[in-house]
Amino acid sequence: MTTSKAHTEYTTQQSTLTSRGAQLALDAALKKAQEIGLAASICVLDAAGRMKAFHAMDGAPAISHETAQKKARLALGFGIPTGDAWFQFIEKDPILFHGAQHLPDFILLGGGSPIQSAGALVGAIGVSGGHYKQDEQVTQAALAALAMPISS
Protein backbone atom coordinates (compact mmCIF):
# COMPACT_ATOMS: atom_id res chain seq x y z
CA MET A 1 0.00 0.00 0.00
CA THR A 2 1.38 3.36 -0.93
CA THR A 3 0.51 6.67 0.58
CA SER A 4 0.89 10.00 -1.09
CA LYS A 5 2.24 13.05 0.62
CA ALA A 6 0.21 16.19 0.18
CA HIS A 7 2.18 19.06 -1.20
CA THR A 8 2.76 21.78 1.35
CA GLU A 9 1.02 24.31 -0.85
CA TYR A 10 -2.21 22.35 -0.28
CA THR A 11 -1.96 22.02 3.47
CA THR A 12 -1.46 24.20 6.48
CA GLN A 13 -0.77 23.78 10.14
CA GLN A 14 -2.82 25.62 12.70
CA SER A 15 -1.96 26.42 16.29
CA THR A 16 -4.74 25.65 18.72
CA LEU A 17 -5.55 26.01 22.38
CA THR A 18 -4.52 23.01 24.46
CA SER A 19 -6.56 21.35 27.17
CA ARG A 20 -4.20 22.89 29.71
CA GLY A 21 -4.77 26.36 28.26
CA ALA A 22 -8.53 25.85 28.21
CA GLN A 23 -8.50 24.77 31.84
CA LEU A 24 -6.37 27.77 32.82
CA ALA A 25 -8.84 30.10 31.09
CA LEU A 26 -11.80 28.34 32.71
CA ASP A 27 -10.25 28.50 36.18
CA ALA A 28 -9.49 32.22 35.85
CA ALA A 29 -13.00 32.89 34.58
CA LEU A 30 -14.57 30.96 37.46
CA LYS A 31 -12.46 32.84 39.98
CA LYS A 32 -13.47 36.22 38.53
CA ALA A 33 -17.14 35.26 38.36
CA GLN A 34 -17.05 34.25 42.02
CA GLU A 35 -15.29 37.51 42.95
CA ILE A 36 -18.03 39.62 41.35
CA GLY A 37 -20.86 37.39 42.57
CA LEU A 38 -21.86 36.12 39.14
CA ALA A 39 -23.27 32.64 38.47
CA ALA A 40 -22.24 32.02 34.88
CA SER A 41 -21.76 29.43 32.19
CA ILE A 42 -18.30 29.46 30.60
CA CYS A 43 -17.36 27.84 27.29
CA VAL A 44 -13.82 27.53 25.91
CA LEU A 45 -13.25 26.38 22.32
CA ASP A 46 -10.10 25.42 20.43
CA ALA A 47 -9.23 26.80 16.98
CA ALA A 48 -11.39 24.19 15.25
CA GLY A 49 -14.42 25.06 17.37
CA ARG A 50 -14.25 21.95 19.55
CA MET A 51 -15.36 22.50 23.11
CA LYS A 52 -12.27 22.13 25.29
CA ALA A 53 -13.84 23.23 28.58
CA PHE A 54 -17.30 24.08 29.81
CA HIS A 55 -18.66 24.83 33.24
CA ALA A 56 -22.07 25.94 34.40
CA MET A 57 -21.83 27.40 37.88
CA ASP A 58 -24.55 26.61 40.39
CA GLY A 59 -27.33 29.12 39.88
CA ALA A 60 -26.34 30.04 36.31
CA PRO A 61 -29.46 30.89 34.28
CA ALA A 62 -30.59 27.98 32.10
CA ILE A 63 -30.31 30.08 28.93
CA SER A 64 -26.68 30.92 29.78
CA HIS A 65 -25.51 27.44 28.76
CA GLU A 66 -26.37 27.94 25.10
CA THR A 67 -25.61 31.67 25.15
CA ALA A 68 -22.02 31.12 26.35
CA GLN A 69 -21.47 28.64 23.53
CA LYS A 70 -22.92 31.03 20.93
CA LYS A 71 -20.70 33.87 22.14
CA ALA A 72 -17.60 31.67 21.88
CA ARG A 73 -18.55 30.35 18.40
CA LEU A 74 -19.23 33.84 17.03
CA ALA A 75 -15.96 35.21 18.45
CA LEU A 76 -14.06 32.28 16.95
CA GLY A 77 -15.85 32.37 13.62
CA PHE A 78 -15.00 35.97 12.87
CA GLY A 79 -12.11 36.66 15.24
CA ILE A 80 -14.02 39.60 16.71
CA PRO A 81 -15.20 39.94 20.33
CA THR A 82 -18.95 40.01 20.80
CA GLY A 83 -20.49 43.19 22.16
CA ASP A 84 -19.15 46.63 21.30
CA ALA A 85 -16.61 45.44 18.71
CA TRP A 86 -19.27 43.52 16.77
CA PHE A 87 -21.77 46.35 17.03
CA GLN A 88 -19.22 48.85 15.69
CA PHE A 89 -18.45 46.41 12.86
CA ILE A 90 -22.08 46.20 11.69
CA GLU A 91 -23.86 49.36 12.89
CA LYS A 92 -23.34 51.56 9.81
CA ASP A 93 -23.88 48.83 7.24
CA PRO A 94 -27.62 48.05 6.92
CA ILE A 95 -27.08 44.89 4.88
CA LEU A 96 -24.54 43.52 7.33
CA PHE A 97 -26.57 44.68 10.34
CA HIS A 98 -29.72 42.88 9.24
CA GLY A 99 -27.96 39.95 7.58
CA ALA A 100 -25.75 39.11 10.56
CA GLN A 101 -28.82 38.47 12.68
CA HIS A 102 -29.62 35.49 10.45
CA LEU A 103 -26.24 33.80 10.96
CA PRO A 104 -26.39 30.63 13.03
CA ASP A 105 -25.10 31.36 16.53
CA PHE A 106 -25.13 35.13 16.02
CA ILE A 107 -25.39 36.95 19.31
CA LEU A 108 -24.42 40.57 19.77
CA LEU A 109 -24.20 40.52 23.57
CA GLY A 110 -20.72 41.01 25.02
CA GLY A 111 -18.88 38.21 26.77
CA GLY A 112 -17.36 36.33 23.84
CA SER A 113 -13.77 36.80 22.78
CA PRO A 114 -11.27 35.22 20.43
CA ILE A 115 -8.15 33.80 22.05
CA GLN A 116 -4.93 34.64 20.24
CA SER A 117 -1.36 33.48 20.65
CA ALA A 118 1.53 35.01 18.71
CA GLY A 119 -0.99 36.70 16.41
CA ALA A 120 -2.80 33.45 15.58
CA LEU A 121 -6.42 32.68 16.46
CA VAL A 122 -6.15 29.61 18.70
CA GLY A 123 -9.59 29.47 20.30
CA ALA A 124 -12.35 31.47 21.91
CA ILE A 125 -14.20 31.92 25.18
CA GLY A 126 -17.83 32.73 25.85
CA VAL A 127 -19.32 33.74 29.20
CA SER A 128 -22.98 34.23 30.03
CA GLY A 129 -24.83 34.72 33.27
CA GLY A 130 -25.20 38.39 34.06
CA HIS A 131 -25.24 41.76 32.38
CA TYR A 132 -23.00 41.55 29.33
CA LYS A 133 -20.51 43.95 30.95
CA GLN A 134 -20.11 41.46 33.83
CA ASP A 135 -19.66 38.64 31.32
CA GLU A 136 -16.95 40.72 29.64
CA GLN A 137 -15.13 41.16 32.98
CA VAL A 138 -15.03 37.39 33.39
CA THR A 139 -13.84 36.92 29.81
CA GLN A 140 -11.06 39.48 30.31
CA ALA A 141 -9.83 37.66 33.43
CA ALA A 142 -9.53 34.44 31.40
CA LEU A 143 -7.62 36.20 28.63
CA ALA A 144 -5.30 37.84 31.15
CA ALA A 145 -4.52 34.44 32.70
CA LEU A 146 -3.56 33.06 29.30
CA ALA A 147 -1.26 36.03 28.65
CA MET A 148 0.74 35.34 31.81
CA PRO A 149 3.74 33.01 31.78
CA ILE A 150 2.89 29.55 33.09
CA SER A 151 5.08 28.28 35.91
CA SER A 152 5.77 24.57 35.97
User: Domain containing 94 — which CATH number?
Assistant: 3.30.450.150
Residue 7 lies in a domain: no
pTM metric for this prediction: 0.89
Residue 9 lies in a domain: no
**Domain enclosing residue 81, as ranges:** 16-147
Lowest mean pLDDT among 41-45, 48-52, 60-64, 116-120: 116-120
Query: What are the tens digits of pLDDT across the range 66-105?
Result: 999 999 999 999 999 999 988 888 889 988 888 888 888 8
- Give one DSSP letter per residue of the chain, joined into a string: ---PPPPGGG--------HHHHHHHHHHHHHHHHHTT---EEEEEETTS-EEEEEE-TT--THHHHHHHHHHHHHHHHS--TTHHHHHHHTT-HHHHHHHTTSTT---SS-EEEEEETTEEEEEEEEESS-HHHHHHHHHHHHHHHHSPPP-
Q: What confidence tier does 3 reach under pLDDT thresholds 50, 70, 90?
A: low
Higher pLDDT, 24 or 9: 24
Alpha-carbon span 105 to 10, nearest angstrom: 30
Residue 47 lies in a domain: yes
The number of residues in the chain equals 152
Residue 4 lies in a domain: no
Number of domain units in the chain:
1
Residue 30 lies in a domain: yes
Q: What is the CA radius of gyration of the chain?
A: 17
